[in-house]
Amino acid sequence: MAKPSRQHPDDARFDDEFLKKLDYLYIVSRKMAASGQRAKRQKKIVGSGLDFADYRVYSPGDDVKSLDWRVYSRTERLFLKLYEEEEDLHIYFLVDASRSMHLGQPNKWNYARQVAAALAYIGLSNLDRVSIIPFSSKVEGRLPPAKGKAQIFKIFNFLDACDAGEHTSLRQAFKTFVSQNKRRGLAVVISDFYDPDGIEEGLNALRYHRFEPMVIQLFDERELNLDFHGEVQIVDCETDEARDITVTPAMLKAYREVFEEFCTELEGYCKSRQILYFRAPIQQPFDELILRVFRAGGFLK
């Protein structure tokens, strides 16, 4: 369970100023939805819907009321008629709370919870069911799906109470997540994706369990523009792994190239699997990122 955290003075607060920004973002989202930039999320489920969707072969135990006898008369085979039934969209915000997200001040965690809160507010405004799940190598807690704008304060409180987790493991965390959440929906993953085991297994777990992943990769520009030179021992903040290196301008350049390569790999993976992908430095105002998400059209319905 998430522990109460001591907020740093530099951390963004969910105050009136923040709420004003959220309202502004909500108005913007409404305009975008009206202009057709919206997602199409229709569930093909057997339900009380009126719109015919499809057939499927009858299996023992199915409700015989849904059998299409006309088709049986023609084909002498039993088919069930399927109808589309709309339901509330579940949006799951999988927010990385590992130690790498808490490094530095201001840090990525602070930025991530702002982004999560903003998107959650938009989701709640659209009457979606929003759930917040912080994770590291495991699921660090869970705010159950809730509906209605009034739930935003619960989200604020929940995010404020979250503390740093352990090391990052998307595979383990998302495996737990999919086993705990049977209701499919949009899975917004906000993370730096610094997972030594890679990101594919974790995201694939979401995909395989019919969640619709959306990736927001955060990074800190200070990680690229390092302020140390010479002989140093770098220590991984999550694994405590130490390496002795001599930081030279050439080394820094190589590091930036490797980081760019890392980001490109992640982006390439997402694009190849039609996963929405956004990358943003935490030095960028969070509302700009939100607007980019809106413009990309995968979040508003």
Partner 1 sequence: MQWTGLPIATVLGVAGFVAVFITLLYLLRLRKRRVQVPYSALWGRVLAEKKRQTDWWRRFKRLLSWLLFMIIAALITVAALGPRSADEVVEGRHLLIMLDTSASMGATDVTGGLNRFEVARTQALELLGSVGGDDRVMVALFNNRVMPLGPFVRETQPLEAALRAATLSANATDFRQALSFARDSLRDRGQAELIVLSDGAGLQNLDLSEFDPGEAVRVRHIAPGERSENLAITGFNARRYPSNRLDHEVFVEVSSTFDRPVEARLELLSEGRIIETLPLELSANQVHRQFYPGQAFAGERLEARVRVMTADAEDVFPLDDRAYAVLPQARKLRVQVVSTGNLFLEGPLLLNTHIEVTRVNPERYDPQAEFDVTFFDNVAPTLPVSGDLVFFNPPAESSPIAIRDVDDEPILTDVASSHPLMRWINLQDLNIARTSTFRREASDTAVASAFGQAVIVDRELDGRRLIAVGFDLRESDFPLRVAFPIFILNIIDYLAQDDVDLMYAFETGRSVQIPVARDIEEARVTAPDGEVRSAAIHRGEAVFYTDQPGFYVLTPGGGEPVAVAANLASPEESRIAPSELQLGEREVSRDAAGLVFERREIWIWLVLLAMGLLLLEWLTYNRRWTE
Q: For partner 1, which is the closer residue by CB, 12 or 252?
A: 252
Q: For partner 1, which is the closer residue by CB, 67 or 237?
A: 237
283 binds partner 1 (CB under 8 A): no
Among 100, 110, 125, 151, binds partner 1 (CB under 8 A): 100
Site for partner 1 in 147-176 (CB under 8 A): none
Q: How far is the CB of 287 from partner 1 (least distance, A)?
A: 24
**Coil, helix or strand for 268?**
helix
Please calculate the CA angle 277-282-288 and round it to the nearest 5 degrees.
Answer: 65
Contacts for 133 with CB less than 8 Å, ≥ 6 apart: 92, 93, 94, 95, 139, 141, 142, 143, 177
Q: How far is the CB of 83 from partner 1 (least distance, A)?
A: 49
Q: How far is the CB of 232 from partner 1 (least distance, A)?
A: 5
Distance CA 54, CA 58 (A): 12
**Contact (Cβ atoms closer than 8 angstroms) between residue 220 and residue 104:** yes
Verify cis geometry, omega within 30 degrees of 0, for the bond prior to 134. no
Q: Which residues pair with 133 in a beta bridge?
A: 94
Stretch that binds partner 1, among 5-13, 109-117, 190-198, 293-301 (CB under 8 A): 190-198
> What number of chain residues touch partner 1 (CB under 8 A)?
31
Pairing relationship of beta strands 129-135 and 143-146 according to DSSP bridges: antiparallel
Q: For partner 1, which is the closer residue by CB, 27 or 234?
A: 234
Among 48, 225, 233, 272, binds partner 1 (CB under 8 A): 233
Site of tokens 């140093």: 232
196 binds partner 1 (CB under 8 A): yes
Taking residues 234 to 273 in sequence order and writing x for each that binds partner 1 by CB under 8 A, - otherwise, the string is xxxxxx-xxxxxx-x--x--xx--xx--x-----------
Distance CA 189, CA 203 (A): 9
**Coil, helix or strand for 117?**
helix
Stretch that binds partner 1, among 189-197, 203-211, 272-280, 282-290 (CB under 8 A): 189-197
Q: Residue 202's closest CA among 248, 136, 107?
A: 136
Distance CA 166, CA 112 (A): 16
Q: For partner 1, which is the closer residue by CB, 127 or 258?
A: 258
Distance CA 145, CA 159 (A): 14
10 binds partner 1 (CB under 8 A): no
Among 89, 146, 223, 300, binds partner 1 (CB under 8 A): 223
Q: How far is the CB of 199 from partner 1 (least distance, A)?
A: 12
Q: How far is the CB of 62 from partner 1 (least distance, A)?
A: 51
Q: How far is the CB of 253 from partner 1 (least distance, A)?
A: 10
* DSSP code of residue 15: S
Q: How far is the CB of 103 from partner 1 (least distance, A)?
A: 5
Terminal-to-terminal C-alpha distance of the chain: 32
Distance CA 153, CA 40 (A): 28
Which positions lie near partner 1, rule CB under 8 A?
Answer: 100, 103, 192, 194, 196, 220, 223, 228, 230-239, 241-246, 248, 251, 254-255, 258-259, 262
